[in-house]
């Protein structure tokens, strides 16, 4: 009996655990939607790969600052068909090209070269790719910010629809009760048939509104699923946001300067300036030092003997200076192009600044308008609560009818619905403002700052 009891308890625990997991999965939390959207977004994934590509380009270019070392070897059968002189070597660039007897020959050389001019030419080109990499990071952040902004807006729309559905159901119940009472009163001759038809019409219209709201919830849920990759049903509850009731004070210029969109434009400007410097210093000569060490041997018998006794024969060390005298004006026009690109980027930065300034002003204005509405709805809601208390007392004294109580309850539900929607709209504005104000802090609050890294 004890074994069966233990087995039953185990099954019960598993069932309860499954139920808890299931119920948790049926609650949509804003923070989860934000993180899921970052993980699921293909556009963010592409931006992350762009960062890695930019980082690889930078490291590839940076590697050019190091010296190059090469080793080369040659094994060949040499046949001398020039019989005029077989007593001396003929060579070009330390390579045997004639003279001496026919033989198997082996040669090897190690050569190293280092461009001193890279420190005043190529380092600016390397810095150009470094700034492009940094810009790609901020572009990725801007894309993530756009996705979060869209998800926040959709989440707010879904939350509003859920609130409408909840209160519409309550209002419909009131209309059903009113209809029932009027039908009974019509039978007793207290209400006309027209009053009954009007009550039925109100109930039917509310049923249509509920069907429309449910359709809207389904469409919004599908839209949100496209961002998060999760599946939401009609029964999925949406967690309401906590309303702070105020927007944090901020320095507008500082907030814009920290925006990823603005940072991306600034890094692009730094990249273009480095590109201009690279074009300017490109007019200077290339200077490099080099060294070469040669080993050589030959054997008239076979290739193996030429390998066995290979020996050093020469080395060379030198300084190479190269100055282009004429390139058709290519470097001149490269500098001109960089100058025009800088002017264009200055306008781009100014446009981005004005756009972010407008976004902040729009959010502040929208929030202030909602705050005034919320204050108005709170007063009305308090008045309706007092009116309901008075009406209930009057009903107990027989001075008010049940229909009067239900009509007032219906109006109170409508007012309470508008208040809840306004409060949640303000909470959405607070999220959007926090995102606009400090993107990095916003992601840290939801543990989403792992994205857009290399």
Q: pLDDT of 287-314, one tens digit each?
A: 999 999 998 887 777 777 777 778 888 8
Q: What is the pLDDT of residues 336-395, one digit of tens each?
A: 999 999 999 999 999 999 999 999 999 999 999 999 999 999 999 999 999 989 988 888
pLDDT at 76 over 80: no
DSSP string, 228-251: H-----TT-EEPPPPP-SSPPP--
What is the pLDDT confidence band of residue 169, given thresholds at 50, 70 and 90?
Answer: very high
CB-count exposure of residue 178 (10 Å: 0-12, 13-18, 19+): buried
177 within 8 A of 202, measured Cβ to Cβ: no
Confidence check: pLDDT of 74 > 70? yes
Closest among 219, 249, 248, 217 to 234, alpha carbons compared: 217
Q: Which two tokens stand for residue 41?
A: 């977004």
The pLDDT of residue 94 is above 60: no
> How is the chain split into domains, by residue range?
30-66+121-166+237-285+332-445, 68-119+286-322
pLDDT of 98 strictly over 60 = no
| pLDDT value, residue 399 | 81
Percent of the chain with pLDDT over 90: 59
**In the CATH scheme, what is the code of domain 30-66+121-166+237-285+332-445?**
1.20.1600.10
The predicted-structure confidence for 24-60, as pLDDT tens digits, reads as follows: 448 999 999 999 999 999 999 999 999 999 999 999 9
Contact call for residues 64 and 126 (beta carbons, < 8 A)? yes
Record the pTM.
0.81
Query: CA 218, CA 211: separation in Å to the nearest integer?
Result: 11
DSSP string, 180-232: HHHHHHHHTTSS-HHHHHHHHHHHHHHHHHHHHHHHHHHHHHHHHHHHH----
């Amino acid at each position: 009996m004890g074994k069966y009891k233990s087995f039953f308890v185990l099954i019960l625990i598993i069932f309860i655990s499954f139920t808890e997991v299931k119920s948790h999965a049926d609650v949509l939390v804003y923070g989860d939607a934000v993180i899921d959207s970052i993980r699921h977004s293909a556009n963010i994934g592409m931006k992350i790969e762009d960062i890695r590509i930019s980082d690889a380009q930078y490291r590839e270019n940076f590697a050019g600052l190091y010296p190059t070392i090469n080793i080369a070897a040659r094994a060949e059968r040499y046949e001398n068909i020039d019989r005029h002189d077989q007593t001396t070597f003929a060579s070009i660039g330390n390579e045997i090209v004639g003279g001496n007897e026919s033989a198997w020959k082996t040669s090897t050389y190690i050569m190293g070269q280092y461009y001193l001019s890279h420190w005043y030419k190529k380092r600016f080109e390397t810095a150009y790719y470094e700034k492009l990499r940094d810009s790609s990071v901020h572009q990725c952040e801007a894309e993530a910010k756009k996705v979060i902004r869209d998800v926040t807006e959709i989440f707010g729309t879904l939350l509003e629809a859920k609130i409408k559905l909840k209160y519409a159901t309550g209002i419909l119940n009131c209309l059903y009760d009113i209809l029932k009472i009027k039908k009974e009163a019509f039978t007793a001759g207290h209400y006309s048939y027209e009053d009954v038809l009007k009550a039925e019409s109100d109930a039917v219209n509310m049923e249509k509104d509920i069907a429309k709201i449910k359709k809207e919830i389904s469409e919004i849920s599908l839209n949100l699923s496209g961002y998060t990759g999760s599946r939401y049903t009609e029964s999925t509850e949406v967690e309401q946001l906590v309303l702070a009731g105020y927007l944090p004070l901020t320095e507008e210029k500082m907030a814009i300067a920290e925006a990823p969109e603005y940072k991306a434009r600034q890094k692009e400007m730094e990249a273009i300036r480095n590109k201009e410097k690279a074009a300017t210093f490109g007019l200077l000569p290339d200077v490099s030092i080099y060294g070469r060490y040669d080993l050589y041997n030959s054997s008239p018998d076979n290739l193996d003997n030429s390998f066995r006794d290979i020996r050093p024969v020469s080395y060379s060390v030198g300084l190479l200076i190269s100055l282009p005298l004429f390139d058709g004006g290519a470097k001149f026009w490269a500098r001109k192009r960089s100058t025009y690109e800088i002017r264009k980027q200055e306008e781009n930065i100014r446009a981005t600044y004005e756009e972010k300034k407008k976004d902040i002003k729009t959010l502040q204005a929208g929030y202030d308008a909602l705050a005034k509405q919320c204050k108005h709805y709170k007063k009305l809601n308090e008045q309706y609560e007092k009116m309901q208390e008075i009406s209930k007392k009057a009903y107990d004294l027989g001075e008010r009818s049940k229909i009067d109580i239900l009509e007032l309850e219906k109006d109170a539900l409508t007012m309470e619905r508008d208040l809840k929607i306004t409060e949640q709209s303000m909470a959405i504005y607070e999220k959007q403002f926090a995102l606009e104000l400090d993107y990095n802090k916003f992601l840290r609050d939801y543990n989403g700052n792992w994205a857009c890294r290399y």
